[in-house]
Amino acid sequence: MLAVPPPLFATTNIIQVFLRCDTVGQVITVGLGVFSLIAWTIMFGKHYELKRLRLLNHSFEGHLRDQRTLLDLPESYRSRRSIPYADLFADAMESYWRAAAIGKEKGVDSQRSRLEHTENALQRALARQTLRYESSMIFLATIVTGAPFLGLLGTVWGVMEAFSAVSVQQTASIQTLAPGVSAALLTTIAGLVVAIPSVFGYNYLLANSKRLITEIENYASALADRIELESQ
């Protein structure tokens, strides 16, 4: 008669293992649980933020493409600062007309001066939106890097405490050593449970943010070209 294998985790009670941990191990395990919640919050929040911004960018770009001229658009187009593409457009237009007004006051107005100010404004806005795309990524990268080391620290500490407890006994056996070692290994498991999903999420979000950065750089270049053509 074939033996029936035991169900998964039947011999392992995570709560009992956690309770066998010392104070340091419990603090590290709870801390890793908090980091896991933070990581999942960042990953879901950043995913939906990038997705929403990409849709808004494409909608705004399509609307601008349908306009016959950009230089004569009303100021209402410059108030949509929440959209990255609109933010670049607003900075470019404000800089263009500001340079034109100052140039006329001083009697040195020129197309070259207007375009130089416009390109500088686009570069500043582009850098600002790049930081916006990459925001919160440093926290996720820190969790990805730090979680396994925190788990390893808890394991090393727990193993050291287990051997220290065995050393004061008259006899040592696997029965006396195993509970302390298993409790110590719990922090390593917790660190890996936090780090493994986080590293996949980080790489996915990093690829998405790089794609959006490339798209906004192309948009800034196309916008500068169109303003130059219309200003002639």
Query: At residue 143, does pLDDT exceed 80?
Result: yes
Residue 9 lies in a domain: no
Residue 197 lies in a domain: yes
Average pLDDT of span 164-184: 69
> Hey, what are 177's tokens?
């050593």
Residue count of the chain: 232
Q: Confirm if 225 and 90 have CB atoms less than 8 A apart.
A: no
Residue 208 lies in a domain: yes
Residue 204 lies in a domain: yes
Split at pLDDT 50, 70, 90, the class of 1 is very low
Q: What is the pLDDT of residue 108?
A: 63
Q: What is the pLDDT of residue 41?
A: 94
Residue 7 lies in a domain: no
Range of the domain at 32: 20-231
Q: Specify the long-range contacts of residues 142-147, CB closer than 8 Å, at least 24 apart.
A: 143/35, 143/38, 143/39, 143/194, 143/195, 143/198, 144/39, 144/195, 144/198, 144/199, 144/202, 146/35, 147/32, 147/35, 147/191, 147/192, 147/194, 147/195, 147/198
Q: What is the pLDDT of residue 170?
A: 61
Task: Give 19-40 pLDDT, tens digit per residue.
Answer: 777 788 888 889 999 999 999 9
Residue 84 lies in a domain: yes
Average pLDDT of span 11-18: 70
Query: At residue 172, does pLDDT exceed 70?
Result: no
Count up the domains in the chain and report the number: 1
Determine if the pTM surpasses 0.85. no
Select from 114, 115, 61, 62 the least CA-distant residue to 88.
Answer: 61
Query: At residue 163, does pLDDT exceed 90?
Result: no
Split at pLDDT 50, 70, 90, the class of 10 is very low
Residue 149 lies in a domain: yes
Task: Give 61-117 pLDDT, tens digit per residue.
Answer: 888 888 888 877 776 666 677 889 999 988 888 888 887 777 777 666 677 878 888
Residue 162 lies in a domain: yes
